[in-house]
Every structure is written in C-alpha cells, then in structure tokens.
C-alpha cells in the first residue's frame, strides 16, 4: 500500500535530527555532541522550553536570544514526532540566573505593564475583568458563578490557539499574535474556553481536558452514589429497623 510507505526522516537529518523513534529534536543545537536518543516531550519539559523561549526572546543579546533555535520550536508540538536531545535541552534551558532575574524584573517593574495600548511594542496586558470569549465579567453556570481565570498553562493556551486557528477566528488570533496569551494574562471563564475549544480536532499535546466537564461528571456520580446510600439506609435500616452489620 502506497500510503504506508515509511517516511524517510533521514532527509531532514541536517536541519532537525531525528532518531529511530522518528522524533525530531525541537531545540536542536548543532554545536553539541553525544546527543543520544530524542526523548519524548513531557508536559513539564515543554512548559520549561516555552518559559525559557519567552525569556530568551526578550533578550537583545543574540547569544542569549538563540533566535535560530527559538524559531524552530513548534507552537503546537506533536507527541509522536517532537522531542529533544538531552544535551540540547540542557544547553537551551540553562540560562544564567542573572538573565532570568532580569527578565522577571522587567516584567514586574515595567511601568507600562498596565497599559492596554503601548507604542513601544512591549507586552500589552488584556483586561483582567473581561472574559476573552464572552467579554463579560460575571457568568453563572448551573447557578454557580464561573469566575474568571488567568491563562497560565501552555495546555490552555494551545487549546485556545488551536481552536482559534481552526475557526479562523481573527479576533482571538490577533490578540494572541501581539504576544502569547500567557504573557498578556488573558482571562476567561473555564466554561467559555470549553465551549470554544469543543469539537475541535486536537493537534496539541493530548493533555487538554476540560476540567469543568470532568468535574461536573464527578459531582454527578458522587451525588448518585450518595442518593443510593440514602435510599438504602431509608429502606433497610429505618423502614425495616434492621440491624446492619458493618460488613453488609
Ligand atoms: Zn537536538
Ligand atoms: Zn466567558
């Protein structure tokens, strides 16, 4: 069958080395040696790579910025074909403490931080009292208030971006284009994000689950179990005045 012809990954060896697992190193640094296997991406590893990428890209020093490596980092990594070499990961993520501190200080003390429009092109924060999707502050789901949450995880960010791309939602894509949703501190209702990202094929890491959905299912199961016990107690213990052994 023609469709099952093995893909010749060796062709890409020069640019993005891969190994027998078929994974390519997304942070490959060709100045190193003893690469070893391409390790699969973990969620923690991926988050660290993104954090370091954010810090590196803020730097004016090309040696710190490593833009050629940052550029090859995929926005939506694929579990099956992306990974990293340990030495590449170590080199990429070992930023001198001073650089990290500098990046943090810039973020914390920037006087322009709270502005929504900024001619200097630094990170523009999104309003913290407005949902990215419904643009409202207060929302109630099943009579419970759904509070606004800040976009802090890569998983959440990627699920939104992925959905926005598939929906060709220029508004959300435009917002995410200026700076990443995490850096811009996007806020949203978890239920709105679930609605927004529902029915969208996942090309991101397979960890994006809708917590609110899982949670309400769990609650439902709990309440069913509780009712079952209540019924049982009512029928067998109270009605029949039966003495129940602990092991029953
Ligand atoms: Zn590598
Ligand atoms: Zn909302």
Compute the distance between CA of residue 159 and CA of residue 204 in angstroms, rounded to an integer.
7
Give the chain's end-to-end CA distance (angstroms, integer): 60
Compute the distance between CA of residue 122 and CA of residue 142 in angstroms, rounded to an integer.
39
**DSSP string across the chain:** -GGGPPP-GGGGTTTS-B-TT--EETT--TT------EEEPPHHHHHHHHHHHHHHHH-S-HHHH-HHHHHHS-SS--TTTEEEEHHHHHHHH---HHHHHHHHHHHHH-TTTT-S--TT-PPPPPPTTS-TTT--S--EETTEE--EEE---HHHHHHHHHHHHHHT-HHHHHHHHHS-TTTTT-EEEHHHHHHHHTT----S-TT---HHHHHHHHHHHHHHHHHHHHHHIIIIIIIT-PPPPTT-
Cα-to-centroid distance, 17 and ligand 1 (Å): 7
Name which of 220, 182, 150, 186 is nearest 75 in CA terms. 182
Cβ neighbours for 78, distance < 8 A, ≥ 6 positions apart: 203
Q: State both tokens at 97.
A: 């403490």
Cα-to-centroid distance, 137 and ligand 2 (Å): 7
**Of the bound ligands, which one is closest to the alpha carbon of residue 196?**
2
Cα-to-centroid distance, 27 and ligand 1 (Å): 6
**Of the bound ligands, which one is closest to the alpha carbon of residue 146?**
2
Cα-to-centroid distance, 234 and ligand 1 (Å): 65
**Of the bound ligands, which one is closest to the alpha carbon of residue 135?**
2
**Of the bound ligands, which one is closest to the alpha carbon of residue 23?**
1
Q: State both tokens at 53.
A: 């990428």
Cα-to-centroid distance, 176 and ligand 1 (Å): 28
Cα-to-centroid distance, 190 and ligand 1 (Å): 36
Cα-to-centroid distance, 101 and ligand 1 (Å): 27
What pLDDT is attached to residue 118? 47
- Digits of tens for pLDDT over the chain (248 positions)? 555 555 554 444 444 566 677 889 999 999 998 999 899 888 888 888 988 898 888 888 888 888 889 988 877 777 778 899 999 999 999 887 667 777 666 666 555 444 444 444 456 788 999 999 999 999 999 899 999 999 999 889 999 999 999 999 999 998 887 778 998 899 999 999 999 998 776 554 444 445 556 666 666 666 666 666 667 666 665 666 555 555 55
Cα-to-centroid distance, 73 and ligand 2 (Å): 30
**Of the bound ligands, which one is closest to the alpha carbon of residue 86?**
1
Cα-to-centroid distance, 83 and ligand 2 (Å): 34
């Amino acid at each position: 069958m023609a469709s099952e012809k093995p893909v010749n990954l060796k062709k890409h060896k020069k640019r993005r080395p891969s190994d027998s697992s078929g994974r390519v190193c997304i942070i490959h640094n060709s100045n190193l040696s003893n690469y070893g296997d391409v390790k699969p991406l973990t969620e923690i590893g991926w988050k660290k790579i993104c954090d370091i990428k954010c810090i590196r890209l803020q730097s004016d020093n090309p040696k710190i910025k490593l833009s050629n490596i940052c550029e090859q980092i995929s926005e939506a990594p694929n579990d099956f074909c992306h990974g990293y070499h340990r030495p590449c990961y170590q080199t990429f993520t070992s930023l001198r403490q001073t650089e990290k501190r500098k990046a943090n200080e810039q973020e914390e003390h920037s006087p322009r931080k709270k502005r929504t429009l900024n001619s200097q092109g630094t990170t523009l924060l999104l309003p913290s009292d407005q949902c990215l999707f419904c643009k409202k502050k207060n929302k109630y789901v099943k009579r419970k208030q759904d509070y606004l949450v800040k976009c802090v995880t890569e998983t959440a960010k990627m699920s939104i971006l992925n959905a926005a791309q598939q929906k060709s939602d220029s508004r959300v894509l435009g917002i995410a284009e200026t700076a990443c949703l995490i850096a811009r501190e996007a806020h949203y209702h978890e239920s709105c994000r679930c609605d927004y990202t529902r029915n969208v094929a996942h090309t991101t890491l397979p960890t994006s689950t809708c917590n609110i959905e899982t949670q309400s299912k769990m609650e439902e199961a709990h309440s069913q179990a509780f009712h079952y016990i209540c019924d049982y107690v009512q029928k067998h213990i109270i009605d029949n005045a039966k003495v129940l052994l602990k092991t029953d």
